[in-house]
Structure 1
């Protein structure tokens, strides 16, 4: 019998941006003055700072991508580490400078930029090749993956605000499952330096209403992410959805995530999973 191997489908979600922005604005407009100052999982950033960061992301995307306004970086970017340092510095500078914006005006600005960004993403050919999504690998990526990456940024920062202000989580499968699916696209790159015999297969299961299962299978040349395979798994990793997104966004340490996970089979294949980041960090 031929071997069953089903690759994952492209993630097409440009229609979710207006929905997730509406939920963000409802959340922000419900906050008290004390809520805006609460610390978040983002180091050194308050709830207001995270919301300012989301606005900065909108402005940067619209200016740099839609309007092709791309000032040169203030220092050379010759490596992944240079890129991360530049982005962290850029983000910190923006948040520091924009703290004078009031919460009321911040909400107005997010209501203004959100639909424009959604319209821009909807105008793109999702199957064209674009810039690399660096946490998924150094090669040009399909535009749909870059759009999905941006969606995960908006989702996880909104979730940080929800955590900090004790609001219900944004775990609706319609919105959350796409985040987890996007994060898993980092797995082949995460395992790229992990040697294993051809046919080695890691079964990844994320439990919860928005969860799913994936298979990472070693071919003769690389690791491939699949949604189904007839190859028996070498290792099975099961992790709750609430733990998974925090792990992939550096919200918890690998050892914390490991304490909530179940590993069966060969444990030697598990460590790269717990060191996967689906954000630039």
Structure 2
């Protein structure tokens, strides 16, 4: 099967070298937690550190069952919530052991996967089958986000080095064409999103005959339809749903069409 068309989501993001390092960093964090820290509330309402670790485990086991083993069953809308609730019966020690074991299996699975082949849709990037590199990048970004929330909950430094955070920013930006799907504009009009700092960059969505496409570049238009600029920390928190647009009015610069700017600030990955 031929590789998928790149412009819709932009150029590939290489996260496989980072997966094991991000996961080892999470293991190092969890290793040092006492029972009280496992029970610490996180920024997610109703979610403790234990709950977020259980969520990560559920995603890993689901990936292995579905993609490696071909085990697919219909899931109810509350399946993820039911999983986290059920995992509260597991001790931190048992949960930790399962995480470590599934991490090794998942690394092996991704290493055997052709990332240029199409896979399942990445919901926040559109309903079309997505290239597996985007699926892998979305999974890395979700795990990284959960780890950040765990670190914040137990007062540990964040995993904010550009090598870790940069791919997350780049991945979340791939939601831009789908976010703009209802925006009507003439062919050639552009929308720009700039994230400042060493983890950032510039991305431009361009209206084509078939919809919006994305590229990692500054806009060529002197007057884009809309433009947003913010810092990397604000951007990933907005994208992950940890901040609302009303929380960051002093951290963003907006120009152009107000409705399009509002859509950009409301862009989320549903994590």
Equivalent position of 2:235 in the other structure: 244
Query: Is this contact kept in 2: 1:135–1:277, CA < 8 A?
Result: yes
Counterpart of 1:236 in 2: which secondary structure? strand
2:211 to 186, 202, 222: 222
Equivalent position of 1:41 in the other structure: 43
Q: Shift of the alpha carbon at 1:219?
A: 2.5
Query: Is this contact kept in 2: 1:203–1:233, CA < 8 A?
Result: no
Counterpart of 1:161 in 2: which secondary structure? helix
Q: TM-score, normalised by structure 1?
A: 0.88
1:140 to 129, 133, 141: 129
Q: Shift of the alpha carbon at 1:118?
A: 1.1
> Runs of at least 4 residues of structure 1 off by over 3 A?
265-268
Query: Is this contact kept in 1: 2:196–2:230, CA < 8 A?
Result: yes
1:58 to 57, 60, 64: 60
Distance 1:257 1:62 in 2: 38
Distance 1:99 1:158 in 2: 18
Is structure 2 residue 253 aligned with structure 1 residue 262?
A: yes
Query: Is this contact kept in 1: 2:176–2:205, CA < 8 A?
Result: yes
Is structure 2 residue 204 aligned with structure 1 residue 232?
A: no
Distance 2:74 2:256 in 1: 49
Distance 1:72 1:221 in 2: 32
Distance 1:36 1:186 in 2: 32
Query: Is this contact kept in 2: 1:205–1:213, CA < 8 A?
Result: yes
Query: Is this contact kept in 2: 1:187–1:216, CA < 8 A?
Result: yes
Counterpart of 1:180 in 2: which secondary structure? helix
Q: Shift of the alpha carbon at 1:199?
A: 2.8
Q: Shift of the alpha carbon at 1:232?
A: 2.3
Q: Shift of the alpha carbon at 1:237?
A: 1.0
Q: TM-score, normalised by structure 2?
A: 0.91
Query: Is this contact kept in 1: 2:255–2:261, CA < 8 A?
Result: no
Equivalent position of 1:80 in the other structure: none
Counterpart of 1:250 in 2: which secondary structure? coil
Distance 1:230 1:110 in 2: 46
Distance 2:52 2:231 in 1: 25
Q: Shift of the alpha carbon at 1:236?
A: 2.6
Q: Which segments of 5 or more consecutive residues in structure 1 lack a partner in the other structure?
A: 75-85
Comparing 134-143 with 234-243, greater Cα deviation is found at 234-243
Q: Which segments of 5 or more consecutive residues in structure 2 lack a partner in the other structure?
A: 1-6
Equivalent position of 2:169 in the other structure: 180
1:209 to 198, 202, 209: 198
Distance 1:115 1:194 in 2: 43
Equivalent position of 1:82 in the other structure: none
1:276 to 254, 267, 270: 267
Distance 1:167 1:37 in 2: 15
Q: Please give the residue correspondences for 1:76-87 in structure 2 after superposition, counting only pairs within 5 Å.
A: 86=77
Q: Shift of the alpha carbon at 1:70?
A: 1.7
Q: Shift of the alpha carbon at 1:233?
A: 4.0
Distance 2:263 2:94 in 1: 43
Distance 1:261 1:132 in 2: 30
Equivalent position of 1:93 in the other structure: 82
Query: Is this contact kept in 2: 1:177–1:210, CA < 8 A?
Result: yes
Query: Is this contact kept in 1: 2:191–2:227, CA < 8 A?
Result: yes
Count of residues in correspondence between the two structures: 262
Equivalent position of 1:199 in the other structure: 188
